[in-house]
Amino acid sequence: MSGSIRLFVRDPLAPGAELVLAPGQAHYLGAVMRRGAGDPVLLFNGRDGEFLACILAAEAGGRRAAARLGLRVRVEARTRAQAPGPDLWLAFALLKRDATDLVVQKATELGAAALFPVLTARTNAARVNPDRLTAIATEAAEQSERLDVPALHPPRHLAALLAGWPPDRPLFAACERAAAPPPPGLAPERPAGLLVGPEGGFTEAELDALRACPFVTLVGLGPRILRAETAALAGLVLLQAPPRA
């Protein structure tokens, strides 16, 4: 059903179930998209697959009340079964707000399963709005036809990220001007992670810490100096390219 409105919900989904959409979703359907009783909407929750649902008749008060109180829908047939996506994590040095928003949005579209904002010596931001970033990731998942929303982790220092990183999950660290090969194309089911530094790159001490971790591989992204947000997205694309022989 290409082009249909898709919404992420947290409720269990099964044929015949009725649920109330959040007020923001009700406002989007009724006031923005001008949908009403009898119109279809696609729902997914990251667990049960994607389902076709039908908007039920609005109660007294019309669209304005629905936007305030929520909107009731009835779940009908499942349109897609839940399927695993790429097991790829993205760790990125925290950027200024607009750049961080862009990384979260595009990384979601590119299939990243988890997002880890990182604080480094040259990071030029220190705080995030988790509700804002979650909303950006959710909207990107809805529009890109993903069946789940990536997990968003709170910011942590690079040392803490490395100390808590699963040793059996390879971490490919993108480094400017590194005399290193590009990231290898990986099979979608293979666990992996990508680490991208801040504008200005990692410090020598940080590079030494990365080299000391047996699960870290330094990789290059070509001869040009890329903006941090560009490097994050280019690295995700390269890691998901067909595996090279």
User: Considering its fold, how many domains does the chain have in total?
Assistant: 2
Amino acid symbol at 126? A
A 10 A CB-CB count for 60 gives: 5
So what's the pLDDT on residue 57?
65
Domain final position from 80, 114, 144: 80
Domain final position from 80, 102, 118: 80
Crossing angle of helices 130-144 and 97-109, in 10° steps, is: 30
Average pLDDT over residues 184-202: 88
Average pLDDT over residues 98-104: 96
Please give the structure tokens belonging to residue 46. 């990251």
The residue that leads in pLDDT, 178 or 96, is 96
Query: Is residue 189 classed exposed, middle or buried when 0-12, 13-18 and 19+ CB atoms within 10 A define those classes?
Result: exposed
For 203, phi and psi rounded to 5 degrees? -75, 165
Tell me: the pLDDT tens digits for 44-90?
999 999 999 999 965 544 555 544 557 899 999 999 999 988 999 99
In a domain, 126, yes or no: yes
In a domain, 46, yes or no: yes
pTM above 0.75, yes or no: yes
So what's the pLDDT on residue 78?
97
Residue 231 DSSP code: H
Please give the structure tokens belonging to residue 47. 């667990």
Same-domain check for residues 148 and 60: no
153 forms bridges with which residues in the sheet? none
pLDDT at 210 over 80: yes
Q: Is 51 helix (H, G, I), strand (E, B) or coil?
A: strand
Domain holding 184: CATH number? 3.40.1280.10
By mean pLDDT, which of 25-34, 55-64, 87-96 is the weakest?
Answer: 55-64
Same-domain check for residues 161 and 194: yes
Same-domain check for residues 127 and 19: no
Which among 100, 91, 15 is positioned nearest to 54, based on CA atoms?
15
C-alpha torsion angle, residues 229, 107, 115, 203 (rounded to 10): -20
Domain final position from 63, 80, 97: 80
- Chain centre to alpha carbon of residue 124: 22
Tell me: the pLDDT tens digits for 222-239?
778 889 999 999 999 999
Q: Which domain holds residue 207?
A: 88-239
